[in-house]
Amino acid sequence: MAVLLTGGAGYIGSHTALTLLEQGEDIVVADNLCNSSEESLRRVQEITGKKLRFYQADVASRSDMEELFSREPIESVIHFAGLKAVGESVEQPLRYYRVNLDCTLTLLECMAGHGVKNLVFSSSATVYGDGRPPFREGDPTPGCTNPYGWTKLMIEQIITDAAAADSGLSAVLLRYFNPVGAHPSGRIGEDPRGIPNNLMPYIAQVASGRREKLTVYGDDYPTPDGSCIRDYLHVCDLAEGHGRALAYARAHSGVEIINLGRGQGVSVLEMVEAWGRANGPIPYEIGPRRSGDIPVSCANVDKARELLGWEARRDVEDMCRDSWNWQRNNPLGYEK
Ligand code: NAD
Ligand code: WQD
C-alpha cells in the first residue's frame, strides 16, 4: 500500500518524501512541476537509496488523478499541492481560488471513488489572521488578509464537511508556522523562483552574494527589538511531523486541526544575529514595514505534543546552518 504526496516535488513535500521513505513507506508523488523540479525527487532517491514513483500530473485534473488512483494502491494522501505566494494571490485571486480549491475537490472525489480514507493537509498559520498569539487550534478564524489564506480556510471547511458526511474519513489539518532550513546533506532545499519573498531564502541569497543586502521590514513594531516575531520551524522537523500525522490519521477517524511550530518566537533581527553566529554576518538595512505583516505570529504546540507525540528538535542555528549548506552547494537551486 502506498502514500500519495500531491505536490511532493516541492520544498516541504520533497523533505517529507525523504523522511517517509526512510521510515519504510511506499511513496507515490503527483506534481505538475509548476513550482518545482523533478531533480528534487531524483536527489531524495539518491540520499535514501530508495525508489519512489513520480507522476507529472495536474492534481486538479480528474483524468490525470483517476489514472494515478487506478494504477497505484493508494492508502493515504498527504496533500501539499497548491499555489502559496501571498502577494501573488492578491494580484491573481481567481487563479489561487481555482488551483487550490480544484486540486482539493478533485483529490477528495478520487479518494472517495477509490475508498481512500486517510488524509493529511498542509494548512497554514495564516488562517489565524491578526488574532492574539500564541495561537491555539480552537482560536477563532474570522478571516484572512489575503486570498491565499482564504483558500486554506475554505479547504479546511471542505475537508471538515466531507468528513462529516463520511464517518470513515480521517483527516489531519496541519497549520504550519514558518518552515525554513534544508536537509543537512545540502542536496535538497527551498528553491524559490525569482526574488525570494520569504526571509530565510532572502538571507541565504545575500550571504551567497546573489542579493546585495537584506531589508528588515520595519523596526517600529510593538516587540522588544521592534522587528516582527515569527515561529520558525526546521523543515526536517516539519517532515517528521507529517510522519506522526499520518500515523494518527491511520489510527483515528474524524478531523483534527494541529499547529506545527516550535512554540518560540524569534524576531527578524534575532534571526539575522543567529545567521551571523552560524555562518558569518550578512549586510542589512532597516526599511519600511511590509503591507499585511502582523507583529507577532507564534504557535501554542500543546496539541501536537499530546496527540502526535511530536515536538521540534532543531534550533534556529540548525536552521541557519542547513539553509546555508543548501544555498552554497546549490547557488542556483536545482538548475545546473
Ligand atoms: P512548493 O511550491 O515548494 O510545493 C508545492 C508543490 O505543488 C510544487 O511542487 C508545485 O509544483 C505543486 N503544484 C502546484 N499546483 C499543482 C497542481 N495543480 N497539480 C500538481 N502539483 C501542483 O511549496 P511548499 O513550501 O512545499 O508548500 C507545500 C504546501 O504547504 C502548500 O500547500 C503550501 O501552501 C503549504 N504551506 C507552506 C508554507 C511555507 O512557508 N512554505 C507554510 C504554510 C503552508
Ligand atoms: C518573515 C518575517 C517579514 C523578508 C509567510 C506567509 C505565510 C506562510 C509562511 C504559507 C516577516 C520579514 C521578510 C525580507 C524581512 N506561508 N522579512 N525582509 O510573512 O511570516 O509568512 O510564509 O502558508 O502564509 O505569509 O514569512 O518569511 O515572508 O517573513 O524583514 O526580505 O521576515 O516582514 O516579519 P511570513 P516571511
Give the pairing of strands 254-260 and 214-217: unpaired
pLDDT band at 7 (very low <50, low <70, confident <90, very high): very high
Contact 230, 4 (CB under 8 A): no
- Cα(11) to centroid of ligand 1, in Å? 7
Q: In the prediction, which pLDDT does 335 show?
A: 84
Which pLDDT value is given to residue 88? 95
Instruction: Indicate whether 180 pLDDT > 70.
Output: yes
The mean per-residue pLDDT over the stretch 100-123 comes to: 98
Catalytic residue, from 148, 176, 221, 232: name it.
Answer: 148
Mean pLDDT within 170-184:
98
For residues 94-114, give the mean pLDDT.
Answer: 98
Given a cut of 90, is residue 270 above it in pLDDT?
yes
Would residue 97 show up in a list of annotated catalytic residues for this protein? no
pLDDT mean over 94-104:
98
| Residues sharing a CB contact under 8 Å with residue 197, sequence separation 6 or more, in sequence order | 85, 86, 87
Beta carbon of 99 within 6 Å of any ligand 1 atom? yes
User: Does 336 score more than 80 pLDDT?
Assistant: no
The residues, any chain, with a CB within 8 Å of residue 143's CB and separated by 6 or more, are 129, 150, 153
Ligand 1 near 105 CB (within 6 A): no
Reported as a single tens digit per residue, the pLDDT across 132-166 is 999 999 999 988 889 999 999 999 999 999 999 99
In the predicted model, what is the mean pLDDT of the chain? 97
Q: What is the mean pLDDT of residues 18-33?
A: 98
CA pair distance 172, 64, nearest whole angstrom: 25
pTM score? 0.99
Name the E strands within 69-220.
Answer: 74-79, 118-124, 170-176, 178-180, 214-217
Q: Per-residue pLDDT averaged across 261-274, rounded?
A: 98
The reply to whether ligand 1 has any atom less than 6 angstroms from the CB of 32 is: yes
CA separation for the pair 257, 140 (Å, rounded)? 13
Length of the chain: 336
